[in-house]
Structure 1
């Protein structure tokens, strides 16, 4: 089976796609976010079993899209989403159904399955009623986030090389530790009682030793090389633990 979602709101389309997928075994669920997208899509798709449309999100084009759906896909089951509508269905052929925008996942799944003349038995049991047809959206989001985080972490670890911080002078390590604590050059200079220009000069020398081109990269390299682990149990900044030899 193939389904089409025509809706101007991307977030609603994504949610509806999950609901449709949970409601029945669709081979393909296609999205159109505007009348232009819809017209372009019709050139390559001549058959849909289900069309879910929210005309209001398409503004003046909503009515036209609904008419085109009825004309181009006369055999498709149509579910129209409206702001103030209530659930209705033509019991003779289930061709056209209207649903309120505030419908629950359970109600939407029922409407989809009813439209397609699919059995509702598995969705009517008391033990399943609370989660009927509810897609595991939170699980999907967590999975995608963890996949993204893992990718970034792996990519980051491949690009960040550790260095021996002993290659830096004492003063350079002190300045870098303060930079890692978020202090700007001006404040570093004031706390060390040196000129701001001297701090900048040290920072440029640090960049060369660490093989980086900016302050952010230097701080990252500092952390990757164990600089952040130099913090003592009292959690005071690392630069405060350094005393002039």
Structure 2
């Protein structure tokens, strides 16, 4: 091998070494800038995957529990002043934007009028449903979202009292379809998986069935009453609920 050939091989070797060094330097700058890590974080936190959520807040009733016409009788707000609901959400993000899932809610309610002296009163609400939501601005710290759902609602009241050795307990339950649940809010990302933010839900439903149960102890010859029937004069009612939602994205 002559001197000229050795010089050519040395030059080619230096060219390859310089190209490799430049590539390594560019890769190092990309890692230092955090672009690669940011992309991985966005994919892991905003992509497809399961999600669990918990909501807490306060709800106000509007509309009628039953009764048609223009009469003011049957207003839901005449019997219930409000509820404190806890709601569990479970679902799946199809992609960075679209979520589908189910929800279960249990709420403790407050009667409009004070419970009679010496009696014990309680009110509770349960809601079951399916919903879909669209989350805007994937990858951002603050993400607005809108959702729509359908479901089933139950509202239960119970009054019990004991006097002169006689105890009585009266339970009444109304239930029916929830035609629509309009939802919206903001999620603030605290880390890659956990977010928290305010929400607002407005439901539109109709009670279709009422059931009553009366039990009396201490009096001979009085049989318990357990009756269920359809509500003839159905009406539309609304629940407006607002509060805070926490969500974990797996």
TM-score bracket, normalised by the shorter chain, equals: under 0.3
| Larger RCO, structures 1/2 (Cα 8 Å, 6+ apart) | 2
Could you state the TM-score of these two structures normalised by the residue count of structure 1?
0.22
1 or 2, which has the higher strand percentage?
A: 2
